[in-house]
Structure 1
Amino acid sequence: MSAQDSTVLRAKGWAVAAAVCAGLWLVHNGMSDTTPPVPSAAQAFAAGPNQHTDAAADPLPPSEPVRLRIPQIEVDAPVMGLGLARDGSLDVPPATDRNLAGWYEGGTTPGAKGTAIVAGHVDNAQGPAVLYSLGALKKGHRIEVLRADGRTAVFTIDAIEVHKADAFPDKQVYAPADRAELRVITCGGGFSEKTGYRGNVVAYGHLIGVRDSDARRQ
């Protein structure tokens, strides 16, 4: 992600429109007491987000992502490009498709040097959506991004944190990195029928391996 692109996102944060995090499924079904998984404090960074303790793979050349896979929570979804909304915040995939993720195409492609941003809905009016279970992940779990160049970028999760909407750590989430890093973001952090989800769940990861996409099917 370029300095200019990261500055735009840091200035606006995730800051998605209220309708996006409204929790329409919970409201329509009277299920405000049943909310998506929330990561425990043990899954947060222990020594701060800038403390790199794990080995990382060499970054790849840029190539657009085409699919997101998170085996531990059974995510296997196509990926579309996202831009910025009119207010400068990060746009989101259409809410009508429950199995669709998006990546910020104005920034780093997953697997390339820098901080790549992937986002998806937690639910829609029909039920749980692609990233409903993001908060159930743990450190060391894997996130796979299949790319247009035929390679799969494999990331390990360094931390899963939940952030209040009015205290979103823009710099921590969006700042450029000197290795290939990934952020996966959805709504979460508690729910109110009046205001919707109170924050966001963010998975932080870095590249640990690369393989040909067909290798997973063998």
Structure 2
Amino acid sequence: MATQEPLVGRRERKKAATRKAIADAALRLFLEHGYDKVTMREVAEEADVSATTLLNYFPTKETLVFDHDADVQASLVAAITDRPAGTSAVTALHQHLKERAVHASAAPGATRFRVLVQSEAALTKHERDMWLRHQDALTAAVAEAEHLPSDDRTCRLVAAFALQTLIVAMDSDDPSSTIDLGFALIEHGRRAG
């Protein structure tokens, strides 16, 4: 007797393919014509989906640009919870964010993508907000790793500064050294506090 698992898997694969097709079409149009010159309807047409389908996957125009957000929080928390024995939470977070920034800057089309994001205030704000909304989860993970209360202000500041460091590094000519500098300041601040 067949189980429903393959059906669920197929459905999820189809949803993921639709989501990717929409995001790819949007990015292509934004890069070719400029973010402000492309409408949601044009993206739907390019992706060959209805406007309703597009809005089901991407409720705002900004979300079309940042399609990679779904697993970000889980990866931030896992960087701390799954860190190697003997590695501090801050060191693990430093390594994770450095790898993320370096990988993002080396990806094909990274420079064009950064120019697109920097060209629109709405995109810059959305990217910043997207990262900072993970601050509470990251604070809790750092606090748990450090055996501190979940509302510990030092852990909250570490999370906030780490996420801000990543935001600055994304637009830096040298993301790796920017992350290193940011975490040197975080470590210095922790020692001084």
Give your verdict on TM over 0.5: no
The structure whose Rg is larger is 2
Give the structure, 1 or 2, with the largest relative contact order (CA under 8 Å, sep 6 or more).
1
TM-score (norm 1): 0.22
Q: Which structure has more helix as a fraction of its residues?
A: 2
TM-score (norm 2): 0.24
Q: Which structure has more strand as a fraction of its residues?
A: 1
